[in-house]
A and B are shown apart, each in its own frame.
Chain A
Amino acid sequence: MADQHKDHGSDPGWADKPWFVRLFSWGLYLACALAAAAGFFWKKDHPHFEAEGFPVFFAIYGFIMFFLIVVVGQHLRKLVGRKENYYEERE
């Protein structure tokens, strides 16, 4: 998996080796493609909601929601983030 920080030592573990990162990424892309494709072949018999009938509804919903959580959620830190000893100073 990609790493946003610099490594400390000179011993990248197996998970940091480029081949693994590449393998993982491509494996994931393939799995995603398969899951999305499968949505077109198998349909729910009695959908409760219209959205369930849309073949890649869950894929799109999952992607966007995860994206939103991370992109929007991090701004919460500006609102509520404090120094680590915030409470200790006050108790």
Chain B
Amino acid sequence: MIHFPGLEHLPALPVIIPLIAAPFTIVMRPGRTPWLWATLVSWVTFACTLLLLEVVWHGGPTEYKMGGWAAPLGITYYIDLANALVMMLVAAMAAVVFPYAYFSVKSEIARAQSPAFYTAMIICLTGLLGVAATGDAFNVFVFLEISSLSTYALVAMGARRDRRALTAAFNYLVMGTIGATFYVIGLGLLYQATGTLNMLDLHERLAGQDNKVVEAGFAFIVTGIGLKLAMVPLHLWLPNAYGFAPSAVTAFLAATATKVQIYLMVRFIYTVFGFEFPFLEVALNAFLILGIVGMFYASFVAVFRDNVKQMLAYSSVAQIGYMLLGISFGTVDGLTASFVHIFNHALIKAALFMGVGCVVLRIGSSQLTAFRGLARRMPWTTWALVLSGLSLIGVPPTVGFISKFKLMEAAFQTTTLIPPLLVVLLIGASSLLAAVYVGRLIYTMVLEQPPENAPAIKEAPHAMRVALWIMVIANIYFFFFTDLTVGVATQAAEALMCSQAGCGGAY
């Protein structure tokens, strides 16, 4: 593969391409052009990440020095299987959601704003990919802010449909900024202790340094990222932000944003810090407890939400609980389960939010009442929602089942604060809660009658339906073919655990 010209720049391409493409978007004529351009960019980026994943999978981790400057002075991109998988996931979600966005955006956002909208989407994509790609801790902060700032703007664009989007965006802005600030404060403390910002370097120089500065740095970083990934009880910004953002934005963010943060958390815990630090155990125990609390608390809230978008947003908070749970086991299996769920949950939530987007487009509301008798009015959308809803519960043959299975399997071999069997039962019990809120949705759609005076409506446009069903089929496909998910995730988890156990060749 090496003989492709320009291939040596491959690790940087997924970040560079959208970064360069973004400014062009803003000057385009409002309407169809920016959308086509954004779609093209997302596809090219997706192709690059696929290629990158292929290279890393078969050729091992790769390293790319920005501008040829060596670490620790220069900025380095390290791509191993973990980031390659997350990058591929982010780009894939963009490649599906961007084409989907057109009609949804047309109805939800002023035409004049459309270049700005797609610019923000592409910038957000850049930021998320950058966070995943970079091996420099400060560079992470930069990309974090790039993605966050564009996200604030995107959420605020929901204001045309519902003014509360502005408050949601503002809250998100404040909380996001606090998170980022905590992160950068923590990083500053680590810099003070080590004098480097490169992740690998940090790991080496942190070894043996168990002092107050490092401890404080750790606490700040974990809290900062915890806020960004909506760990209970730092999740309060998320439901409103997802609930009021334009549908396409919600679909994209729910599938990607928190996933990248989870990846970042894993990266810090396993690569930068590592098990030598006694406080790591504390963090893992905190994840265990907060994860379980989140699984239940957020699911209970979701059961009682009457707005489907918000219900799904709370469900996302609960699902983050599963991912934290996987991390908290501190085993290869646990980490694998987390990565698998990152991937699978992205598929599930993208499909669900895209389905809801179709309903918002045609009926104009995401209240549960709007879904009454939807099976008769929009059968394609309904069945897509039903299937992805079943996936969310974890019913085979869908990816949700694989996630739950791997997580339970991992839970069985751990020794944590809580007995493994209880953890398994808790996972099962929270799945029942998911069955309840998804069941409520399915019941409303399939078994209730449409309102008496409901006007006849058309199905969602083809572009949206096709994108939606691609996601639904992916939900089933990756149940049968788990090489990409379970296979890659296992290798990625092994590499991460290995790096912190010191078997050389970190990443």
Q: Do chains A and B touch in the complex (CB under 8 A)?
A: no
